Structure 1
Amino acid sequence: MTEPNAPSAPSWRTGRVGRIAVRCLQFLLIALTVWVVGQVLSRLAFVMVPVAVAILLAALFVPGVAFLAARGVPRWLATTVVLLGGVGALGALVLFMVTSVVDGLPDLGKQLNESLRELRDWLTTFGLSPEQLDNMISQAKDWLSTNRSGLVSGVFGVLSTAGTLLVGLLLALFLMIFFVHDGARLWRGLLRPLPESSRGRMIEAGERAFRDLTSYVRTTLLVALIDAIGIGLGLWITGVPLVLPLAGLVFLGAFVPVIGAFVTGIVAVLVALVTQGPVVALIVAAVVVAVQQLEGNVLEPLLMSRAVKLHPVAVILGVAIGAELAGVVGALLAVPVMTTVRSATRPFFEDSPTEDTSPPHHPA
């Protein structure tokens, strides 16, 4: 006969192993959900990529529309003015950068080959034989040629032909118009089937995520421009050729955080090394480092909120996973997706203890 106040035997759910098992099951359920969502999105890549581009562009243009609407301009007129002016200016800027890179690619390729030869001759002074260096260079070229198709494939393969690319661009522009003009009402209408008790939190989470995404897009565009102008001025002052293609390459690379700026900076240093010598290459490297330090330590803290800022390790892992899963598009969209998800879900995982506003108690 058991004692009436004797402690009951712990069940499998309250023991340490039971708690670990419950957490593992929860993790597996979340992983399964993420996998299913990823499979659905990959099947709908032709639609989801334009939707993502439209949301990013809307995040760039909505503040301008809100600014004009707050000053009495009808929203349809504010949307028309901002979209026509913004799309025109952004399209002209991107077109100029892309054409400068494309026009300079032949000369840039020749300069890079010269840079590799100069680098090989310089490395032989450290005891490496030319055969070893040629083998390393050939292995690197083989790796790039093998993985280039994988990087360009993925989601980008859905938009590989000119016709599908044009349709995707038109779909993104069409969706962007409605997102800019009536995005908040569309979001509320999408959440209407949810229970009223949770609908308010979801609406607030979406608005917060879009606000942080706006900060991210604006900061990324400004940082890309400042990187291109700063490094371009450094190349022009030091007399390095191909200033416009290299500046355009830096501008485009800055949209892939951390990795893009690092790789394009190496290209600029290599071109400076082969054309102007090691002293100028060191100066260009110092300019690249200084511009990136200015970007990371001054511009981003000023322009980007703490809710948007991600740790560099998370950024690198996100870009790598995005490139592996969806190629170039995955690398470009990885950080915006991480920023949006983090901003939307952050209040659900943070404790918000009530602050004690009473005056401090002083013992007698």
Structure 2
Amino acid sequence: MRKIFSKWIESYFSNEEVLLLFVLLATSLGVILYLGQPLAPVFTSVILAFLMQGVIEWLKQRNVPHLASVILVFLGFVGILLSLILFVFPLAWKQSVNLFNELPRMVTEAKAVLLLLPQQYPDIFSEKQISQIIDLATAELSQVGQWVVTYSLNSIAGLVALLIYLVLVPILVFFFLKDGSSLTRWWLSFLPDKKEMLSKVWAEMDDQISNYVRGKAIEIVIVGSVTYVAFALLGINYAALLAIIVGLSVLVPYIGAALVTLPVALIGFVQWGWTNEFWYLMLAYGIIQALDGNVLVPLLFSEAVNLHPVSIIIAVLVFGSIWGVWGVFFAIPLATLIKAILNAWPKSEVLEMTET
């Protein structure tokens, strides 16, 4: 057994680039775990700059100078940020407060409907099952209320953090856009000259992750905007808040669309009941989800992310449990990184001869 294990170690871990990759991954993980909170504005700025890099390259291909491209893209970014701060976020916050104030009435109406189920469908639902569902929902809502109270008590600290983000992030984004290439070359200068494995990993990841991150950002904007227009035309309450939730749900493939159906249906039911308006709402929501999955996603991503659906779901569950929202957002890129590492992993000559 020891001989077999030693041979396996020698086959897969004898290359010096493997040790270098392990050091880089361990260092990156350590920085994220121990310095993630203080460096959050930096990470956010890097992600935003990465999203906008494609537009800069597109402008440079049309003979626009680098600095002019950076300024144009940065001004567009500032305009979008101001629009979110001045219009979208206040509207969503106002609707969130109204929704929280309406929750007791909505819960009462939902309880009344649930209590009728054992009478209408005694073979399917029992009073004990309905009571358990009501108790579980009440407990979850009480936790939400406690979170809101805690958040309100910490609002001053959150306001200070928000102000820091609003000042630091735009400044960092501008410099990452302007000097990103020189900063990358500076970091690469610390690596050994021999880095074939790292080059293979980066070559496989670059197109896939860049296309995925930018495509996902575009998908969020399109799905959220279309949802808001449809819900506003239908006249449902909290249209802006629901549109933001539906837009962000595309971050979690296969799972997000199913989860966000519940608040959409609940708010529609409380507002209209089993009327035609409710079914029009669900029909519009179903059409949006169908167009997103069958038209928008293939158009934006194509073969950019070549991962099996099971791998995507496992990645979302694992990285989401570790890093929360950021883990969910970067679950597919991280899974792509793991896949690229496995594909580029050096093998011994014996193994290569066996495979051929």
TM-score, structure 1 as length reference: 0.72
Distance 1:344 1:186 in 2: 24
| Matching of residue 53 in structure 1 with residue 44 in structure 2 | yes
| Matching of residue 190 in structure 1 with residue 184 in structure 2 | no
Say if 1:50 and 1:172, in contact at 8 Å, map to a contact too: yes
Say if 1:250 and 1:261, in contact at 8 Å, map to a contact too: yes
Structure 2 counterpart of 1:240: 236
Say if 1:232 and 1:243, in contact at 8 Å, map to a contact too: yes
Q: Amino acid of the residue matched to residue 123 of structure 1?
A: L
Give the CA deviation at 1:205: 4.4
Cα distance change of structure 1 residues 176 and 347 upon mapping to structure 2, 3 Å threshold:
farther
Structure 1 counterpart of 2:78: 87
1:189-208 pair list within 5 angstroms: 189-198=186-195, 202=198, 205-206=201-202
Give the CA deviation at 1:43: 0.9
Q: Amino acid of the residue matched to residue 251 of structure 1?
A: G
Cα distance change of structure 1 residues 120 and 311 upon mapping to structure 2, 3 Å threshold:
farther
| Matching of residue 67 in structure 1 with residue 62 in structure 2 | no
Cα distance change of structure 1 residues 94 and 323 upon mapping to structure 2, 3 Å threshold:
farther
Structure 1 counterpart of 2:121: 126
Give the CA deviation at 1:145: 5.5
Distance 2:303 2:171 in 1: 32
1:206-245 pair list within 5 angstroms: 206=202, 209-245=205-241
Q: Amino acid of the residue matched to residue 50 of structure 1?
A: P
Say if 1:104 and 1:245, in contact at 8 Å, map to a contact too: yes
Q: SS at 1:161's partner residue? A: helix
Q: Which whole-Å deviations, capped at 9, do the CAs of 1:207-262 have from their partners, x for residues lacking one?
A: 66344333223322222233224433443454433323322332243344443333
Distance 1:269 1:231 in 2: 14
Say if 1:323 and 1:329, in contact at 8 Å, map to a contact too: yes
Cα distance change of structure 1 residues 167 and 47 upon mapping to structure 2, 3 Å threshold:
same
Aligned counterpart in structure 2 of residue 116 of structure 1, from 110, 113, 123: 110
Cα distance change of structure 1 residues 207 and 261 upon mapping to structure 2, 3 Å threshold:
same
Q: Amino acid of the residue matched to residue 256 of structure 2?
A: G
Cα distance change of structure 1 residues 120 and 207 upon mapping to structure 2, 3 Å threshold:
same
Cα distance change of structure 1 residues 220 and 134 upon mapping to structure 2, 3 Å threshold:
same
Q: Tell me the C-alpha RMSD between the 2 structures.
A: 4.1
Q: Amino acid of the residue matched to residue 295 of structure 1?
A: D
Q: Amino acid of the residue matched to residue 293 of structure 1?
A: A
Distance 2:74 2:342 in 1: 31
Cα distance change of structure 1 residues 160 and 250 upon mapping to structure 2, 3 Å threshold:
farther
| Matching of residue 253 in structure 1 with residue 235 in structure 2 | no
Give the CA deviation at 1:44: 0.5
Q: Which whole-Å deviations, capped at 9, do the CAs of 1:248-298 have from their partners, x for residues lacking one?
A: 332243344443333333211111122223354344333323322221222
Aligned counterpart in structure 1 of residue 132 of structure 2, from 116, 135, 139: 135
| Matching of residue 101 in structure 1 with residue 92 in structure 2 | yes
Cα distance change of structure 1 residues 208 and 118 upon mapping to structure 2, 3 Å threshold:
farther
Say if 1:65 and 1:75, in contact at 8 Å, map to a contact too: yes
Aligned residues, how many? 329
Q: SS at 1:56's partner residue? A: helix
Aligned counterpart in structure 2 of residue 166 of structure 1, from 160, 163, 166: 163
Q: Amino acid of the residue matched to residue 87 of structure 1?
A: V
Say if 1:205 and 1:344, in contact at 8 Å, map to a contact too: yes
Q: Amino acid of the residue matched to residue 289 of structure 1?
A: G
Say if 2:320 and 2:327, in contact at 8 Å, map to a contact too: yes
Structure 2 counterpart of 1:360: none
Aligned counterpart in structure 2 of residue 42 of structure 1, from 28, 33, 46: 33
Give the CA deviation at 1:170: 3.9
Distance 1:291 1:181 in 2: 38
Give the CA deviation at 1:34: 6.5
Say if 1:212 and 1:308, in contact at 8 Å, map to a contact too: yes
Cα distance change of structure 1 residues 201 and 180 upon mapping to structure 2, 3 Å threshold:
farther
Q: Which whole-Å deviations, capped at 9, do the CAs of 1:130-169 have from their partners, x for residues lacking one?
A: 564243232244356559999xx9xxx9x96333343345
Distance 1:67 1:43 in 2: 37
Cα distance change of structure 1 residues 37 and 214 upon mapping to structure 2, 3 Å threshold:
closer
Segments of structure 2 that go 5 or more residues without pairing to the other structure are 348-356
Q: Amino acid of the residue matched to residue 126 of structure 1?
A: Y
Distance 2:52 2:11 in 1: 42
Distance 1:145 1:317 in 2: 30
Distance 1:140 1:321 in 2: 26
Distance 1:137 1:113 in 2: 9
Structure 2 counterpart of 1:7: none
Give the CA deviation at 1:206: 3.9
Identify which range, 53-62 or 113-122, moves more after superposition.
113-122
Distance 2:300 2:22 in 1: 34
